[in-house]
Each structure stands twice: as C-alpha cells, then as structure tokens.
Structure 1
Amino acid sequence: MTRSLIAHAKAGTIDQAPAVARIPVSAYTDPALFELEKKRIFRRLPLMLAPSSELPEPGSYKAMTVVGVPVLLTRQKDGSVAAFLNMCTHRGNPVAQGEGKASRFVCGYHGWTFKNDGTLLGVASSDDFGAIDKAAHCLKRFPVLERAGLVWAILDPASTLSIEDYLCGYDDMLANFGFDGWHVFAKRTISGPNWKTAYDGYLDFYHLPVLHASTFGSDFFNRANFFAWGPHQRLTNPTGTYTKLGTDQSIDLAAMDEKDWPIDALMAGVWTIFPHISIASFYGGNARAVLISQLFPGDSVGESVTNQYYLMEREPTDAATIEGAHQQFDFLKTVVEGEDYATGKRQHEALMSGLTDHVLFGRNEGGGQAFHGWAERLVAASDDELKRIFAAERVAEAAE
C-alpha cells in the first residue's frame, strides 16, 4: 500500500472509480429501509463493540444497548471475552448497568444471580418459586471474537456466520496498531444524522479543506486512495512523506530503506470496519493515539449515535501529555459534532424535502461508492448468501 501511495504522489494521481455514481435519496430517507438495515445489517453482521482495553482484566464488564438490544460484555477468568443478552431469564430485566468489575450479577428486580460467565447461580427464594432447570436459564450468549485488540459480536445467538470470514483478513492489518496494550484515555457519546450520512464522512477526504477549513485548514489535502478487504476500507492520501512524531520534521519515505519505515507512517489514514467503525490516528500531547468512532443507527431514520474512544498507545503520566490529549479529544469533538454531523443533519433535512431523487459520488469518491454498494448488497442477502459472500471474500484476500 505504501509503495502505491508513494508512486501516486510522484505522479500526481489517485485511483478513481470507473464513473460517477448516483445513490437514491431513499437510501438515506426511507424509514422502511432504515428499519431493514437495523435488522439485516446491525443485527446480523459482526459489530465491533469494544476495544480490548475497555475490559482490562478478568471480571471486567461493560453493559450497552445496541440498536435496541441490551448487551453485556465480560472478561472471563481465562482471559477470553464473552457477550451475553443483558436480560435476566426470569422476567427480562437487565442484570448489569454501566461498566466495572464483578464476579457475579444480581438482577435488581427479584434477585436472581448470574456468574460472570452467564451461568445462573441462584434463584431467590427458590423453594417458593418452584423447581426449574438452572442450566436451561443461563444468560443467552452471542457469538463473539476478540482480534487485534478489538471485540466483535453478532447480535443473533443463532448466527452461524463466521466472524473470521467476515473480517476478510482485515484483522491482520488492524493488528499492526498493537491495540492489545493500549489505554482508553477518554470516551463520550454524540448524536448525529442518518447513520449512512454520518458514515459517508469517514470515507470522504474530498470535503476536508472545505468543511474543515477553520479547523484543519483550507490547504489540507482532499484526495485519497482506498484499499478494501471485503466491505472494510482504509483511506489515505497519496504521499511519500511522513512527519516524525513530536517534530515538524518531514521524512521522505522513498529515500528510506523499507525496513526502516515507521509503523505509524504505514498505518496512517482512516481505517473503517463495516458497517460502523472509523479509526483515525492523532498525536495529542505528542503521544501516539487514535480516535475510534463507533456509529449506530438512532431511533429514527434521521438519527444516529456515535461513541467516541480516545485510545493512547501508553497511559499518559505527565501533566503536559494529559493536557495535550484532552485538547486533542476536545478538538475532535468540534470537528465531528460541530462540523461533520451538524452538516449531515442539515443535509438530511434538505433531502427529506423530497425534491431530488439522487445524490452523487464522484470518481474520486470510490470509498463511498463501495460502501453503498455493500450496504445494498448485504441488506438483500439471505443468511446463507452472507456466509457464502464472506467465505469467498476471505479466500480471495488470502490469495492476494
């Protein structure tokens, strides 16, 4: 990838899609399609629910609601991660809230108790309640996989889709970040527009010097190449230079031996995990960090919710680094919420007028074209077709 980017930078070119694409406005505004996307994308496909460092040790847990599904993630005694439906098997009350560390969970409604591994441990006043098979009333498990310092789960307990196939080898690329040992510095949740409108922005460098002129600057690059692993993408601008961390020194990668290329130069750009994750590198406080944006559809077609994680390669210990990291995280809130998402909400309101039937994605917006193609394809696919699609994609990526 880096060789390709250097070659394009020298030639002053970018990869381009074959033609300008027309995406129907209904892809953003149709409430029926929106509900179908929640059901056939977000409740059928693996979702990245947490960085591994959010569950740092056995007993760590995290409760969250994802497209209406209450989910409980726990770190087991053996170090593995489990994902459960956060619903007591008595009356359905969630057994955990927030995050923390616990060896067991007691339902706050009637006191039923579950172990960290989902096992039903105790029924309150069991003699009065009556005999039940405890083994048949454990917390319901979701398929889960932890790779590259990230945790994926499928919100369908009966799913037989291979998460490994779904990742198409992309997890091998993401592993180069080394997230296993990173530190969760800060988190927050922000509201946004339609989920595809929001996601378009993560796949688009074309807007950077215009929409972000007052934050990134009007001379910021607006060209990008994208590399694909199935529906997952990396976007980055064609360049042969790298600015060394903590300096203004620009390094010519083409003049270096490839074995000396720094890993943060090789991992530059925006890495997206379909259908809802963006990972972008930053250096707040002169320390290597990433902003992970975790995007979910909201309650209505024009709404979304994004959890932002600021992960740092090492936990900062000095005041200057801590302050710099806070400033970077606050700056990114201004960029995403105040510029990207505010624009997306205005855009959605205009599209809801019904006075245009399509939007355009240029030849320089191939990443967005690919995203919409995958969204349409996967909504239409049957469960068996999903398995065939990703098994074939994984084989293709392995062959390359």
Structure 2
Amino acid sequence: MIAARLAKADGAWRGHPGESAMSRETLVAMTRNLVAHGAADTMEYAADIVRVPASAYTDPAVFEQEKQRIFRRLPLMVAPSCELPDPGDFKAMDICGVPLLLSRQKDGSMGAFLNMCTHRGNPLAAGCGNASRFTCGYHGWTFKADGDLIGVASPQDFGKIDKSQHCLTKFPVYENAGLIWVTLDPHSKLSIADYLCGYDELLKAFEFEGWTLFSQRTLAGPNWKTAYDGYLDFYHLPVLHKDTFGADFYNRANYFAFGPHQRLSTPSKFAIKVQGDDDQQLDLEAMADDQLPQDVLVQGVWTIFPHISIASFYGGGQRGAMISQLFPGEKVGESYTTQFYVMENQPETPEQVQAAHDQFNFLEVVVRDEDYATGKRQQQALASGLMKEVLFGRNEKGGQVFHQWTQRLAGASDDDLVEIFAQEQRQAAE
C-alpha cells in the first residue's frame, strides 16, 4: 500500500496527486513510515553531507537574483483564506517591490491585481479592509473590486480613453486547502496547481477552509534562507530551544518531498492527542488505519517552497496552527516573517482567549528570541567572509533539498519552469 501511494525516488518520498481518499491514504502511508522508524529507533538519512557556499547567504547579487527569479516568478502563498473570508475583503501588500492587491469577489472567488492605478501608478489601497470599489487617492480614478476601470475623474477634461484597456493588471491566482497562492508575473505560463505537485491536496487535511484567523504579527529576521533553514531542521530543537521546549525534545526528522515542498516529522510510534486540558499519548502502532485521528496525520512541520511553514499547536485545548510567511527584506541580511495563528474554532470564553494568546506569545519568544536572534548572529559572522562553506549533515535532508531546489529554480528559464513541474507530475503519476 505504501508503494501505491508513495514512490521512493532519489532518496525522497514523492506523493501522488489525486482525490481526497487517495490523499488520506498518502497521509496514512507517511504515518506508517514514521511509526516503523520510531519502533526501530531509526531515521531516514540523506546520501551524504552537503556543502553550501557561505556566499549563498551573504552575496547581494545572489540575493537580488533570488528575489527576481524565485519570489517574482514562482507561486507564493500570500494569505490564508480566513484572512479574507467575505466578499469585498481586501488586502494590500508589497512583495519584493511588487505592490499586490487581493480582493474577495462577489462570487467568493479571489482576485489578485497589481496595486497600481493605470493612470499614474499610484497604489489604490493600503492595509486590509472591505470595499466594493477602489478610488485612487491621487486623481480619483475608480475601479471595481474585479479590477475594471469604471470612473475617470473629469472625463470631459481628461480626454477620451477606452476604459476597458486600462483595467488593473491581473496576476495568476489559485485558492485551495484554505490557502491563497499568487504568481507575481502576469504573463507566467506555470500552472500554480502543477507547481504544488499535489501537495495542496494533502494540505486539505488541516481543514483550514472552516478555520478562523485569531491573530497575526510580523517579525524581523536574518537572510531569508538563514531564517528558512530553521523551519527545515529538527536537529537544533533540544539545543537552541532547551529552555523553551526542553533539552529532551526530539531532534530527528523524516522528510517527505513533493517537488520542492516538504513535510518533516519525527519518527515515532507515539503521538500526543490533546483533549481539553489533558494530553493523551496514542500508540499508533496499535491503531488501525481508519482509527488514526486527523490531527495526528498532519503532525510535524509542512513547508511550501519557497517561504511557508505550517505547524499545529493547541491553545487552551483548542486546535490551532501557526502559518509562518517569510519574505526577503530590503538587504541581503534581512527578512520579515508574518505569523498567522489560525484556529479551528474561535475561542469564546476569556480563559480560552487567554490560552490562545499565551500559546501564540510563546511561539513569538521561540522564533524571535531564539531562532531569529541566532540567525542574525550567524548572518553577521558569515558576512565576515572568513568561512567559505556551511554544512548540512545526512540528518538534515530538508535543508539539503531546499538549497538544491533554490539553486535549480533560480537558474531555470521560464520555459524550464514549466517543464520541471510537468516532469514532477509525470514522475508522481508513475
């Protein structure tokens, strides 16, 4: 059954895209893989140690190439659906110099537009809100929420134009599994669904479609790859986080790859099931496949290349998840991360609300004061230029795969991108 749902190729597990029943079988197969390794006290290793040039983190030219050829060419997860749940909800954001406007349409679909008035390029919206139309604050041109230009101020003075030729530029947009992706290239030929390699079908297991956004914040970090390395690494957990998670915390992870997207989870035959204020340890080895709880099937960290991490948590006995959205900053040694704390149910009592805040605040301390503080020190040291390479061990396969894909996709042509992910689809179907 595992062979039917997970094909092992080049040392990485590749998932098959398909229907939800198939997705559950894939999740169960991954869980059985983790259980088997946990029972044997083993883990899966990469073939060898990998060396990455230190300049990959410090070279401004490399950094600029990555912004242009990764963040401005590849699909990016720009928002959880629950951030814009209602028709008219909008969100304006800047990504690597591109002003983006998201707008929930009347029919519930998502629109993604270049946030620039087609008159002089002034941004139409800022922040978040709800609007049926957007009026430019410079000269008063007005656009519908679907991007159509419907009003030119003082048309008798401005002159005659064809309004249909001056609508907002649209970006490719795709919404699935309670998440929204946008490609910041209006002419992109790369299908967002193909790019996700069926991974979005597995992400449906979180059931984010019905969740609520509890809170969010933005943190400053080091170089985007320095920061992202930490999300792909369990090796550091009992060392760096000994005062928060504990020195006896696990440091092993098996990696499951779907194209450049990866899930990492600790090999163990046990799982913790939170029920109310109590933690229940489940013996997964003794459970039938149809008895495995949904939250157990999505345990671990799910990363969406090139900049998303999703991990489950519980605040006050309620199921939640932190979605970390990472973007490059202005300079090579800077990044910023928006943390979305989404919850299965909106906390109702004061105690539940406080417990959720406590959980989210704890995660801020872990990331800001431990992960990113360490990353900034690491970044400063690497900037000395006196260390030529950094190492990723056989137990750090996630970081190896991430850097290999980063280099490969940054160097690919637009046509190459289409073929790369068409090939991933063919391999997954074999």
Which runs of structure 2 are paired with 1:11-30 in the superposition (5 Å)?
A: 11-30=40-59
CA contact (8 A) 1:210 1:218 kept: yes
Would you say 1:282 and 2:285 are equivalent positions?
no
Show the counterpart of 2:246: 217
Show the counterpart of 1:368: 399
1:319 Cα deviation from its structure 2 partner: 1.2
Q: Deviations over 1:286-342 (max 9, x none)?
A: 100000000000000000010100000111111111101000110011000110000
Could you tell me how far apart the structure 2 residues matched to 1:97 and 1:23 are?
39
Could you tell me how far apart the structure 2 residues matched to 1:270 and 1:314 are?
21
Show the counterpart of 1:62: 91
Show the counterpart of 1:250: 281
Instruction: Describe the SS at the equivalent of 1:184.
Output: strand
Of the three residues 273, 290, 294, the one matched with 2:325 is 294
Of the three residues 347, 350, 356, the one matched with 2:381 is 350
Could you tell me how far apart the structure 2 residues matched to 1:27 and 1:393 are?
26
Where in structure 1 are there 5+ consecutive unaligned residues? none
Would you say 1:6 and 2:23 are equivalent positions?
no
Could you tell me how far apart the structure 2 residues matched to 1:33 and 1:82 are?
32
AA partner of residue 4 (structure 1): N
Which runs of structure 2 are paired with 1:301-340 in the superposition (5 Å)?
A: 301-340=332-371
CA contact (8 A) 1:61 1:100 kept: yes
Q: Deviations over 1:183-206 (max 9, x none)?
A: 000010110000000000000000
Which runs of structure 2 are paired with 1:171-250 in the superposition (5 Å)?
A: 171-246=200-275, 247-250=278-281
Identity %: 65
Would you say 1:148 and 2:177 are equivalent positions?
yes
Show the counterpart of 1:81: 110
TM-score for the superposition, normalised by structure 1:
0.99
4+ residue segments displaced more than 6 Å? none
1:128 Cα deviation from its structure 2 partner: 0.5
AA partner of residue 333 (structure 2): G
Could you tell me how far apart the structure 2 residues matched to 1:326 and 1:263 are?
24
AA partner of residue 317 (structure 1): E
CA contact (8 A) 1:169 1:398 kept: no
Could you tell me how far apart the structure 2 residues matched to 1:296 and 1:374 are?
17
Instruction: Describe the SS at the equivalent of 1:18.
Output: coil
Would you say 1:112 and 2:141 are equivalent positions?
yes
AA partner of residue 101 (structure 1): N
Would you say 1:124 and 2:180 are equivalent positions?
no
Could you tell me how far apart the structure 2 residues matched to 1:292 and 1:398 are?
29
1:248 Cα deviation from its structure 2 partner: 2.4
1:398 Cα deviation from its structure 2 partner: 3.2
Q: Deviations over 1:93-112 (max 9, x none)?
A: 11111111110001111110
AA partner of residue 12 (structure 1): D
Show the counterpart of 1:390: 421
Instruction: Describe the SS at the equivalent of 2:46.
Output: coil
Show the counterpart of 1:136: 165
Could you tell me how far apart the structure 2 residues matched to 1:54 and 1:226 are?
29
Instruction: Describe the SS at the equivalent of 2:124.
Output: coil
Could you tell me how far apart the structure 1 residues matched to 2:312 and 2:280 are?
18
Show the counterpart of 1:53: 82
Instruction: Describe the SS at the equivalent of 2:331.
Output: coil
1:395 Cα deviation from its structure 2 partner: 2.3
Could you tell me how far apart the structure 2 residues matched to 1:11 and 1:144 are?
44
1:9 Cα deviation from its structure 2 partner: 0.4
Could you tell me how far apart the structure 1 residues matched to 2:279 and 2:211 are?
25
Instruction: Describe the SS at the equivalent of 2:324.
Output: strand
Instruction: Describe the SS at the equivalent of 1:131.
Output: coil
Could you tell me how far apart the structure 2 residues matched to 1:55 and 1:398 are?
34
Could you tell me how far apart the structure 2 residues matched to 1:137 and 1:248 are?
58
Could you tell me how far apart the structure 2 residues matched to 1:324 and 1:248 are?
15
Instruction: Describe the SS at the equivalent of 1:320.
Output: helix
Show the counterpart of 2:293: 262
Could you tell me how far apart the structure 1 residues matched to 2:290 and 2:91 are?
40
Could you tell me how far apart the structure 2 residues matched to 1:188 and 1:91 are?
32
AA partner of residue 135 (structure 1): S
Q: Deviations over 1:197-248 (max 9, x none)?
A: 0000000000000000000000000000000000000000001112121322
Where in structure 2 are there 5+ consecutive unaligned residues? 1-29
Could you tell me how far apart the structure 2 residues matched to 1:92 and 1:398 are?
45
AA partner of residue 310 (structure 1): Y
AA partner of residue 254 (structure 2): N
- Kindly tell me the number of residue pairs found equivalent between the two proteins: 399
Could you tell me how far apart the structure 2 residues matched to 1:173 and 1:397 are?
14
- Aligned-residue Cα RMSD (Å) equals 0.7
